[in-house]
Structure formats: C-alpha cells, structure tokens
C-alpha cells in the first residue's frame, strides 16, 4: 500500500467514523435533553457501558489484536484464511454466549463494580434492570468486531466503519418513538441496544459474504491455530482488563458525586469525536498494513507508513486538543444545555472536557504506536506498559478525589494516557529502522505545535468577542459555527505559513486521488 493509499484508507474510515460520531453525538444530546443527569440517565449510561466494556475487553481489544495480524498474513499468503476465520468466529461466539449467561445472574455485582455509589438508591435497581436487557448486545457487537477486522484486513473499510451509524440511528429513532408514544424512555433505550447490535452484525456479515467470507458457526475446537491465537491474545486480554480497570476507577470516583457520571460521560463523548475520527481510523488501517509489510520484509515501507500515520494524527489532534481546552465552555453550553440538562451542569462537564482535551494527542498516539507491537505479535510489552499506566490512574483518581472532586477521574485518565504513550514510544527504540522517526516528521512536528498555539490564541479572542452572542438562544449556534470556522481558518493559515503542511502535498494528494 503506497502512502497515498494509506491516507486514503485513513480518510475512508475517518469519514464514516466522523458520521458515526456526529450521529452518536446527536444521540447523546437527545439523552441529555430527555433525561439530563438524573437517575434514569445515570443508570442507563452505566448499563450501556457494561457490554461495551466487555466488547473492548474481548473483541475489539484482545481478540482482534491477535486475529487481524494472523488473518492478514494468511490472506497475503493464501494459507486457508477462511477456515481460520470460521474457527475464530465460532470460538468467540461460544465464549461470549457463556459470558452473557453468567452476567445475567451476576448483574448486581457488575453494577456494584461499576458504580458502588449507586448502592442504596433507585439508580442501582434501574441499572441492574437495564444492564440485563443491554448485555446481550455484547454477543452481536463482538462478532461484528471480528468480521470488521476481517474486512479491514482485506482492505474493505466502508461496511465496518459505517455499521456504528446504524446503531446510533436506531437509538435515536427509539427515543423519538418513546417520546411521542409515551413509552418508558429508559426501558426503550435499553431494548434498542441489542436490536442495534443485530443490525450491525447483519451489515458486516453480508459485506464479508461479498468478500467471499460468509462465515458459519461451527463446533468450536482447540486447534493449533486457535492455541497460537490464544497465546497471542492472552496478554492482550490482560491489557484490556487493565484498560477497563482504568475506566472502572473513573466511574467509581464519579458515582460518589451526584451527577458526575453524566458529566464525565457527556464530556467523554465529545472528546471521543476527534479520537474516533483520527485515532481509531489510523489504528484500523495501520495494523493490517504493517502486518503485511513485515510479512514481505518491507522495512522502509513500514517506516514510511508509521511516520506518515503519526504526522497525519498529530496534524489533526494537537489543534483539536487545544480547541477542546480553550472552547470547552461554549461547546458544552451550545451542544448540551437544553431540556433536562441544566445550566448548572455546563461548568462541571466543560471542566471534564478540558482535562480530556489535554490528553487527546496521547490517546491518538497510542493508536499509532500499538500496531507496531501487535503486527509483530507482541502483546506482552503493551500489557506491561498498561499495568504502569493503571497504577498512575488509580493513584491519581483516588488520591486527588478528596482535593479536586469528581474531576480527579478525568485527571487520572489523561495523565495515565500520556504515561502509556510515552512508554510505547520509548519501547519502539528496540524495533530498529522500521520504527524510527524520519526527518520530515522531525521538521513538521514543532511547526504543528506552533500553528496549534496560534489557533489557541485566536480562539481565546473569539470566545471573548462572541460571549454575548452565546447567551442568545437564537444566535448561539451561529456563534459556535463562527468559532469553529474561525479556528479552522486560523490553524490552516498558520500551518501553511509555518510549514506544518505544504500546498504541494495537498495538490499532489488530490491529483493522485483523482
């Protein structure tokens, strides 16, 4: 894959991910408007995170980390990739079905592990009810994640990237129907969650069928290939567990402050927008590409792919992080303050968003650096790094909570994110030339930082000028649009003037795209 094809893959996945995140953001705005930060909202948000937590733990994280490089190499060499994929598909389905049965009985314990602060009030019982309804979503979304990895390894990114759009559309439609027909909003949202999982699985299964991989469930068996897959996945499972412990710590801290879980969740959703568009897109495209290059012993091509991915990621996420810090207040006020989301909720949510914004480049760098390890079937090293990051997160989140309140959870997440990124980068020094930073990235990174600083100063001025307009309901959306466009224009002009990007690069890319 040439660099322009790699960037094209980033843009293809990124575009669909952007649409998914925008539609998902509309979903979150509607949840905030209908439910605000009250008991039903907090109970549903905890219940919804349960299957998503285990999904990242088993499917998107550990299982696909091992599956994608192994499948990519078999696909490249023609070593019966379909049989391998069906074995993995059946094995994953068996494990997740057993997990669903256990979780149904253990739901009170799972809710307590997520939010001990709910114990003794109505949020706990609601979260248990919603959790039992939502949890089967993990079966459908786990199989969706595996099929998505299969499609990505084959260079077919659209179906996998577009499936989450369908999920958010279904949840939005469910809320509209519940509001108009007088249904219980919490129960409606809970039942729509597994329905959306079935819809996503159908989309990627038919896409895999068109690719020639109409996978069927078969009796699971522990073949040599599956043993090798599990041996690689095991450290990634543990690393995924560490990541989930970090999330659990944040939710536990938040559960002891009234409304904090909702504040943290809404802020998380907003910073996940650039993280998903850039970081996840790069991780999806880069892992199979690096795996194929290692198989072909293309060291220089792998190095170029890694450097261009890093440059592309930082060019977009450093200014995005600056914007989230500087404009957190207007963003939360305009996008969320309506209905049950009160003005008193704006400040705490904006504080959490600004803290997460400081960590955005670190979270994206992790998505760029981890494929360098996973493509080499090295999941043990990231696991060790994740353990240290977990220690940092736990110490900060718990230790700072008595001093700074609920925002300790956000500070722990951000500082742990930078700790993980630093360890991953230092670890690449042992990989030789394929993971070395090239001259172009060294030249452009300081210029990207400088252009982002110029944009930050401009945004501070624009926020002050537009502040009276943000207070007017009829004009606040125009003011936010002006703020966003002004920031983009300033960053673009500064980036070109300082040499963070060259017009010749853009023209060349457009010509090759055509």
With a cut of 60, say whether residue 2 has pLDDT above it: no
Of 214, 350, 202, 365, the residue nearest 275 (C-alpha):
365
Give the whole-number percent of the chain exceeding pLDDT 70. Answer: 82
Of 244, 232, 230, the residue nearest 138 (C-alpha):
244
What six digits make up the tokens of 410? 């956000």
Rounded to the nearest angstrom, the gap between the alpha carbon of residue 320 and the centroid of all alpha carbons in its chain is 15
Length of the chain, in residues: 514
Residue 222, pLDDT score: 77
Entry pTM: 0.67
Out of 67-71, 352-356, 453-457, 502-506, pick the least confident. 502-506
Give the whole-number percent of the chain exceeding pLDDT 90. Answer: 20
Task: Compute, in degrees rounded to 10, the torsion defined by CA atoms 162, 92, 424, 322.
Answer: 30
Of 450, 357, 353, the residue nearest 407 (C-alpha):
353
Beta carbons of 469 and 476 less than 8 angstroms apart? yes
Q: Give CA–CA dist 397/338, Å, rounded.
A: 30
CA separation, residue 247 to residues 137, 252, 369 (Å): 19, 9, 21
Residue 7, pLDDT score: 53
As a whole number, mean pLDDT of residues 300-323 equals 83
With a cut of 90, say whether residue 372 has pLDDT above it: no
Quickly count: other Cβ atoms within 10 Å of residue 181's Cβ: 8
Q: Give CA–CA dist 512/514, Å, rounded.
A: 5
Out of 178-187, 225-234, 316-325, 400-409, pick the least confident. 225-234
If you ran DSSP here, which 8-state letter would residue 432 be given? G
Per domain, the residue ranges of the chain are 3-214+224-437, 439-514
Residue 146, pLDDT score: 82
Q: What is the DSSP string of 371-397?
A: HHHHTTT--HHHHHHHHHHHHHHHHHH
Q: Give CA–CA dist 335/333, Å, rounded.
A: 6
With a cut of 90, say whether residue 143 has pLDDT above it: no
Q: Give CA–CA dist 195/213, Å, rounded.
A: 24
Of 101, 198, 182, 57, the residue nearest 140 (C-alpha):
198
If you ran DSSP here, which 8-state letter would residue 404 be given? H
Residue 17, pLDDT score: 65
As a whole number, mean pLDDT of residues 80-100 equals 84
């Amino acid at each position: 894959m040439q660099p322009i094809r790699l960037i094209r893959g980033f843009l293809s996945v990124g575009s669909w991910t952007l649409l998914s995140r925008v539609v998902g953001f509309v979903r979150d705005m509607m949840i905030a408007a209908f439910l605000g930060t009250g008991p039903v909202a907090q109970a549903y948000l905890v219940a919804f995170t349960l299957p998503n937590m285990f999904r990242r733990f088993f499917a998107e994280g550990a299982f696909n980390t091992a599956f994608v490089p192994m499948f990519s190499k078999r696909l490249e060499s023609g070593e019966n990739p379909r049989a391998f994929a069906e074995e993995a598909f059946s094995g994953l389905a068996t494990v997740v079905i057993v997990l669903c049965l256990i979780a149904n009985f253990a739901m009170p314990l799972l809710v307590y592990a997520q939010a001990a602060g709910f114990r003794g009030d109505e949020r706990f019982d609601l979260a248990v009810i919603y959790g039992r309804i939502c949890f089967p979503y993990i079966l459908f979304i786990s199989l969706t994640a595996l099929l998505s990895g299969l499609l990505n390894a084959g260079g077919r990114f659209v179906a996998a990237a577009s499936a989450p759009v369908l999920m958010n559309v279904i949840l939005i439609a469910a809320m509209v129907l519940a509001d108009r027909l007088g249904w219980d909003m919490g129960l409606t949202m809970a039942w729509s969650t597994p329905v959306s999982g079935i819809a996503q699985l159908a989309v990627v299964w038919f896409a895999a069928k068109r690719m020639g991989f109409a996978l069927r469930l078969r009796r699971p068996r522990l073949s040599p290939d599956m043993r090798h897959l599990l041996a690689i996945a095991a450290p990634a499972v543990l690393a995924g567990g560490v990541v989930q412990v970090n999330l659990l710590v944040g939710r536990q801290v938040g559960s002891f402050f009234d409304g904090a879980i909702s504040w943290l969740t809404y802020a998380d959703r907003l910073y996940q927008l650039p993280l998903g568009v850039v970081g996840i897109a790069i991780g999806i495209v880069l892992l199979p590409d690096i795996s194929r290059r290692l198989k072909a012993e293309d060291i220089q091509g792998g190095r170029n792919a890694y450097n261009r991915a890093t440059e592309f990621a930082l060019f977009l996420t450093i200014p995005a992080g600056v914007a989230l810090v500087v404009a957190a207040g207007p963003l939360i006020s305009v996008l969320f303050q309506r209905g049950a989301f009160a003005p008193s909720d704006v400040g705490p949510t904006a504080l959490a968003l600004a803290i997460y914004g400081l960590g955005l480049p670190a979270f994206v760098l992790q998505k760029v650096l981890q494929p360098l390890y996973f493509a080499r079937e090295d999941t043990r090293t990231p696991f060790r790094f994740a353990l240290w990051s977990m220690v940092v997160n736990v110490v900060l989140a718990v230790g700072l909570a008595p001093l700074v309140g609920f925002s300790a959870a956000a500070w722990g997440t951000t500082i742990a994110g930078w700790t993980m990124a630093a360890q991953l980068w230092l670890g690449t020094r042992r990989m030789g030339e394929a993971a070395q930073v090239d001259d172009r990235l060294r030249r452009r990174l300081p210029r990207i930082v400088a252009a982002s600083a110029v944009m930050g100063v401009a945004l501070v001025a624009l926020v002050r000028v537009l502040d009276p307009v943000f207070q007017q309901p009829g004009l606040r959306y125009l003011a936010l649009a002006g703020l966003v466009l002004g920031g983009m224009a300033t960053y673009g002009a500064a980036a070109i003037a300082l040499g963070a990007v060259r017009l010749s690069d853009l023209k060349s890319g457009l010509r090759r795209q055509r």
